[in-house]
Amino acid sequence: MNNATGAATDFSFSGLTPDVIANALASVGVDPASGLLALNSYENRVYQFVADDTKRYVAKFYRPARWRDAQILEEHAFTAELLAEDVPAVAPLELDGATLHYFEGYRFSVFPSVGGRAVEPGDMNELERIGRQIGRLHAVARQGEFKHRGTINADYFVTQSLQTLRQTELIPEGLQNAFWAIAEPLAERLLTTDLAAYDKQRLHGDCHLGNMLLREDELTFVDFDDALTGPAIQDLWMMLAGDDRQERWMQLDALVSGYEEFCDFDARETALIEPLRGFRIIHYMAWLARRWQDTAFQRAFPWFAEQRYWEQQVLAMKEQLAALQEAPLELHPNFNC
């Protein structure tokens, strides 16, 4: 079951029993005094517990064979950099001189449990504060580079994702023609996106409101599992909510206004908002298809196997292709970039 890195050789969590989890934690000197509460993480297995020191912790067991050790450790180092610069982020604890641990073929890390409430979408004052916090994150991110994490590119997010979707049997037979009639032209349009024309930097990678916690009037970044290299706008565009173009335009101005207090923003990158949204739509479907044999995914996303979901995706892709044919969102003409 083990390979050279100590990680399991397939994507299965079948051997990760409560006893294995408890023994893994004990191996690094952490003894749960409470039961293990499974948190909403599907790619990995994440558990919250109270240890015998009465403190709350979170144990994260990485999906086997997904990341190389060097990629996980690079994520850990990035979060440590952020904390060293007083950017609120949740980083793994160093136990026995390491942040990444091994037990019976599984890799895991232990984090402090950080509480907080979710951030409300669309609030202009909140968006400016979010922009400031992402600007602080990016100011640190630009001081170094990833050597092992991936880079946003159309081949992985679009081409390989479509290959996965062609192999899945989940798309209803009666929708196959309609699905591919829009998926193919959407992909063709997305593949024309010239990412090479923009500067790249380290990113959170999956920076949406669900990965931010508001605690004691401070925004904290969580879950850097998808950290990668790409244009700055990747960590900003998911903050824009709603279908009204005027509203999203105002949201973008508020977001970038806060961002530029700490980090310069290339206004040209607003042209990447809709292409990156298109990347995410296609990649998300493929991600679910790749993981569908994991029963945790079947329990969490039962609608993925239903016709209604695929009908909605056909509509979403049509809307996205139309959005790509519109002029991109731009900052307010009076915005001082």
> Residues at the annotated binding site?
211, 223
223 is an active site residue: yes
Report CA 136 to chain centroid distance, whole Å: 18
On the CB side of 77, CA atoms within 13 Å amount to: 15
Of 69, 206, 226, 294, catalytic: 206
Placement of tokens 């979707």 in the chain: 165
* Binding residue numbers for Mg(2+): 211, 223
Cα–Cα nearest to 49, from 113, 116, 128:
113
- Structure tokens that stand for 86 in this block: 């007083």
Burial 123-161 (b: 16+ CB within 10 A, else e): eeebbbbbbbbbbbbbbbbeeeebeebbebbbeebbebb
Please say whether the beta carbons of 273 and 329 come within 8 A. yes
| Distance of alpha carbon 145 from alpha carbon 125, whole angstroms | 31
Interior angle at CA 15, CA 9 and CA 21, nearest 5: 110
| Distance of alpha carbon 230 from alpha carbon 200, whole angstroms | 5
Strands 106-112, 101-103: pairing is antiparallel
Q: Phi first, then psi: give them for residue 46, nearest 5 degrees.
A: -130, 130
Please say whether the beta carbons of 73 and 120 come within 8 A. no
Hey, what's the torsion of the CAs at 258, 263, 267, 268, to 10 degrees?
A: -140
DSSP state of 51: B
**Catalytic amino acids?**
206, 223
